[in-house]
Every structure is written in C-alpha cells, then in structure tokens.
Amino acid sequence: MNASRASRQPVENSTDLDIATPLIAWYRAEARDLPWRRPGFPAWGTLVSEIMLQQTQVARVVPRLEAWLTRWPTPRDLADSPPGDAVRAWDRLGYPRRALALHAAATAIAEQHDNVVPRDVDALLALPGIGDYTARAVAVFAYGDRHPVVDVNVRRVLARAILGEGEAGPAKAKQDLPLMESVLPEDRDDAATTNAAVMELGALVCVARSPACDVCPIADRCAWRAAGYPEHDGPRAPRQAKFAGSDRQVRGLVMAELRASDVPVTPDEIRMVWPDDDQRDRALASLLRDGLAVGDDASGYRLPDGSD
C-alpha cells in the first residue's frame, strides 16, 4: 500500500472539484419518493426511520415505519407502551435491540425534552442508543442544519470520487467527516441536499458491485474513473458473516417464538426452534443479556413489559 492511500488524502486536489452542484441537480430530478423526504415529515419520524434503516433495506422499512408512526405518532406514545410492544412491532426488521434503544430514546425525549426530538447534535447524542451518524442525520434531515453525514454509501462515493479508491475501507470518523465536510456547500439547504444526494448516489448508482458509471452525474469529476478504476489495495471493511446457520438466525427464531405468544414460552417450546442445544442456549442467553427476553425455565420466557 502506498503512502498516499495509507493517509487517505484526496487525489490531486480533487476536493477542489465541485461535486455538489451536479449532485443536487441529479438528486432533485432522480431521488426516490420516500416518506422521510416529504415536506412536513416529523422529526420523530426521521429519528425512527434512521434507526430502522440501519442495516435494513428501504423496501422493508417503509411499511414498518408507516405502521409504527400510525401506532406511536409521538415519542410519548411509544414511551407509554411496554418495551415488549416495541420489540413485537419491530417484527422481522432484524437487530431487535434497535427497538429497545428506540423505546429508551422515546422515553428520554418525552421526559427530558417535552416530547420534542432535540435539534442539537450533542443533545441527540445524549439520548440512549443514539450514535454519531443518527444524531447528525436527524439534525440535518429533520431540521436542515449544516453537518456532514456519513454512512457506508457516502464513504464509498467519497472514496471513489475524491480519493480515487475503489473501496472505502474501514470507517474512520476523524477522516470521513472532514472529507464529507469538504464537499458541502455553505448554504444550509444545499448542504442538506448534498448529504442526501451523496447517500442516494451510493445507494442507486455508485454501488459496491458494478457501479453504473455511465449514468453517474459526477463521472467527469471522479478520481477513481480518471485513474482507470485501479483495484483497491488497502484494508477492507469487515464483512458480515453468513446469516444461515448463524447465532443471529437462531436469535431471530427464538424472538419470533416470543413475539408470537401472549403468554410465557416454555423451555420445551423454545427447544423446538433449533436442534443444536448449545447454539440455541447461547442465543437465548444473549437475548436475556440484551434485555430482549425475560424469564427463566420455571416461569417461561417472554418479551419485556417494563416491570422487570
């Protein structure tokens, strides 16, 4: 690996190129019509959508988001329900700890912020379960403030267009955020649109495999294209293990059993969801540890109701 790639510096002053202007025009013409992009969409809805979208496809999130906001239109509505209801409503979105985190954040918003999602990034970061990406995304997409927002799609676009690299490699906030900041216009509205446009480009055009460079609005400004699409020779971002047969799959099967029952699930019923005793017991123990399940062999197992 050469020194310039190790330090992840922009290629040949590529940050001097204006990629925001063509991206804004492209986004306004080509962006998908998604609920959280519509005028008047509430900040609470933006927070819920951002948490749901973590590691989950948009097509799976949209119907679940709409059902969630119909049932719990404000943070207090969710906070007044048992956390187990949030886990059950999460259904098969995956990573159900996000449902518990969202319930905890809703409780904090209702109790500490008069039922209004805070605007300040530091205040958002102080909420349970809210990380740097989500805090910045809410501040930008719900309130229009000017901050760089970086997800996996953004990192890939920046790596290619600005750094001339085929892959982004492992996340490095201290480098990724300043790089995104360098392409943002000063105008707040244009900056928010640029954040969304870079994400959209990474999701639809500058995809991980077989990017559609022939329709890319910044192809003429892309450092990777100009360099002849060199192979990535740096460190790679970690890849998730296969789902089939994994502990994640077994956790999901146990969770499905708990969600489907209004009464405690017996150990015998849990034993039926997976044949490997050690893996099944490990999955159940992790759910208990994460607070996604409560109970024991004597009383049975169920979703948390807030009294535990």
**Catalytic site positions:** 50
Angle at which helices 83-90 and 97-112 cross, to 10°: 130
* Centroid of chain to Cα 135: 11
In DSSP notation, 6-67 reads HHTPPGGGGGGS--HHHHHHHHHHH----GGGSTT--HHHHHHHHHHHTTS-HHHHHHHHHH
Tokens 């994640």, residue located: 248
Query: Which residue(s) pair with 301 in the sheet?
Result: 265, 295
d(CA 285, CA 280): 9
- Those residues with Cβ within 8 angstroms of residue 71's Cβ, 6 or more apart along the chain or in another chain: 77, 89
